């Protein structure tokens, strides 16, 4: 028969022992019954059926006797305390490392989510050089075409503007002076030569035309001797004879508009202006040399206005066709003004199959 101990104890059942031990240190009240013994500060309970003693782990100091009566030391509580502290330290280290890793992962995810749109990437020097080389090749192939296209459009605009201004002035001049056959015309080419063999020209009639038109146009007269261009070329690039240096031969003959465009009458061929009075020139600004059909355009002065006439030297099919090298250089390019004014392009510089009754653009 077992009795409960008054003092708090911890019991443990051992597989090889049937004794129950309880600590009984200082001040403990050990029972005196026959079934209990107090040995070395430990209460030992002996089971009458199985007399083998069983130790009970102690919380305090002391030892117990095994079934042979040999004293056995109990495990010190300090060992448990050190192990517990070590376990806590290891646990804290592991938890700290896990938290740090979690924070780093969280920061990385946050950075990827919020800085990706603003992230900048760099190129290597080789990549930059290769890219610049490709850009340079493409630019060399395309920029000249773009520049020429822009210049052509600019010239078309300038020619149309000058054509409009001159015909407005012509209309006002006719209202004040009548038709050009009343403007004091004279035949320009007299058919005579001087002592050195140079042809003699009568500039009185052409000067009268320029002076009358200039009254209705904001322009300035160019002085005699002013150089207009260093050379004049035909549409197909041939140098026009007797035009290696174009300069003003008389005062009040050439006039320059505000935008730099120059206008002047050409030779007067008919005093009664039938079928037309004579040539009329529009010279666009820019460049030291001039080319018929590119920046120097030939029109006709008539009783009805300053017009482009598709006949004679003004015929488009023959005198505005670069492939027609059989046409005299002084005439090749004189038939382009009407095409530019009517169709608004200079595609005859790029293809030679255009016609008034057919193809009007190279892309058609």
Each residue of 139-150: pLDDT tens digit?
A: 888 888 888 899
Q: Give the model's pLDDT for residue 290.
A: 94
240 and 161 part of one domain: yes
Helix (H) or strand (E) holding 79: helix 77-115
d(CA 295, CA 228): 12
329 and 210 part of one domain: yes
Among the listed ranges 55-59, 259-263, 275-279, 300-304, which one has the minimum average pLDDT value? 55-59
How does pLDDT run across 169-202, given as a tens digit for each residue? Answer: 999 999 999 999 999 999 999 999 988 888 899 9
Q: Is the pLDDT of residue 335 over 90?
A: yes
305 lies in some domain: yes
- pLDDT, the chain, mean: 79
Domain range holding 14? 1-75
128 lies in some domain: no
Helices 204-214 and 125-177, axial angle in degrees (round to 10): 100
Would you call 280 helix, strand, or coil by DSSP? strand
Last residue of a domain, one of 52, 75, 98: 75
Q: Is the pLDDT of residue 1 over 70?
A: no
CA dihedral 266, 270, 276, 279 (to 10 degrees): -10
156 lies in some domain: yes
Q: Is the pLDDT of residue 111 over 50?
A: yes
Q: Give the model's pLDDT for residue 278.
A: 94
327 and 198 part of one domain: yes
Instruction: Name the pLDDT band for 243 (thresholds 50, 70, 90).
Output: low
Q: Is the pLDDT of residue 9 over 60?
A: no
DSSP annotation of 238 reads P
| CA angle in degrees (0–180, nearest 5) for 303-305-307 | 115
Task: Give residue 213's Cα distance to chain centre.
Answer: 49
Would the pTM of this model clear 0.75, i.e. be above it? Answer: no
Handedness of CA 101, 103, 106, 107 (dihedral sign): negative
163 lies in some domain: yes
Q: Give the model's pLDDT for residue 172.
A: 97
How does pLDDT run across 276-331, given as a tens digit for each residue? Answer: 999 999 999 988 899 999 999 999 999 999 999 888 778 999 999 999 989 999 99
Domain total for the chain?
A: 3
Average pLDDT over residues 2-18: 40
274 lies in some domain: yes
Task: Give residue 137's Cα distance to chain centre.
Answer: 17
Q: Give the model's pLDDT for residue 93.
A: 81
| CA angle in degrees (0–180, nearest 5) for 97-100-101 | 85
Q: Is the pLDDT of residue 52 over 80?
A: no
32 and 106 part of one domain: no
Q: Is the pLDDT of residue 32 over 50?
A: no
């Amino acid at each position: 028969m077992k009795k409960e101990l008054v003092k708090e104890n911890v019991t443990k059942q051992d597989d090889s022992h049937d004794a129950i031990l309880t600590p009984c240190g200082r001040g403990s009240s050990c029972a005196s019954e026959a079934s209990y013994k107090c040995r070395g500060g430990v209460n030992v309970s002996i089971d009458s059926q199985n007399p083998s003693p069983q130790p009970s782990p102690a919380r305090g100091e002391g030892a117990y006797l095994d079934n042979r009566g040999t004293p056995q030391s109990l495990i010190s509580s300090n060992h448990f305390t050190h192990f517990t502290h070590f376990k806590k330290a290891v646990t804290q280290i592991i938890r700290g490392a896990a938290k740090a890793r979690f924070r780093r992962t969280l920061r990385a995810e946050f950075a990827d989510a919020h800085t990706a749109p603003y992230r900048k990437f760099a190129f290597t020097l080789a990549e930059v050089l290769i890219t610049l080389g490709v850009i340079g090749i493409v630019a060399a192939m395309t920029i000249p075409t773009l520049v020429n296209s822009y210049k052509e459009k600019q010239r078309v605009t300038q020619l149309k503007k000058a054509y409009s201004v001159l015909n407005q002035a012509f209309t006002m001049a006719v209202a004040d002076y009548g038709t050009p056959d009343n403007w004091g015309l004279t035949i320009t080419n007299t058919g005579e030569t001087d002592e050195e063999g140079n042809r003699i020209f009568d500039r009185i009639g052409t000067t009268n035309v320029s002076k009358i038109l200039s009254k209705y146009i904001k322009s300035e007269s160019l002085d005699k001797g002013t150089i207009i261009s260093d050379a004049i070329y035909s549409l197909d690039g041939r140098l026009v004879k007797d035009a290696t240096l174009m300069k003003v031969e008389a005062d009040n003959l050439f006039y320059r508009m505000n935008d730099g465009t120059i206008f002047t009458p050409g030779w007067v061929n008919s005093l009664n202006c039938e079928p037309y009075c004579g040539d009329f020139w529009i010279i666009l600004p820019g460049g030291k040399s001039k080319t018929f059909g590119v920046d120097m355009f030939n029109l006709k002065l008539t009783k009805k206005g300053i017009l482009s006439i598709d006949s004679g030297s003004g015929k488009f099919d023959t005198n505005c066709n670069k492939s027609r090298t059989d046409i005299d250089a002084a005439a090749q390019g004189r038939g382009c003004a009407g095409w530019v004014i009517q169709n608004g392009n200079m595609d005859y510089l790029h293809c030679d199959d255009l016609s008034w009754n057919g193809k009007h653009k190279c892309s058609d």
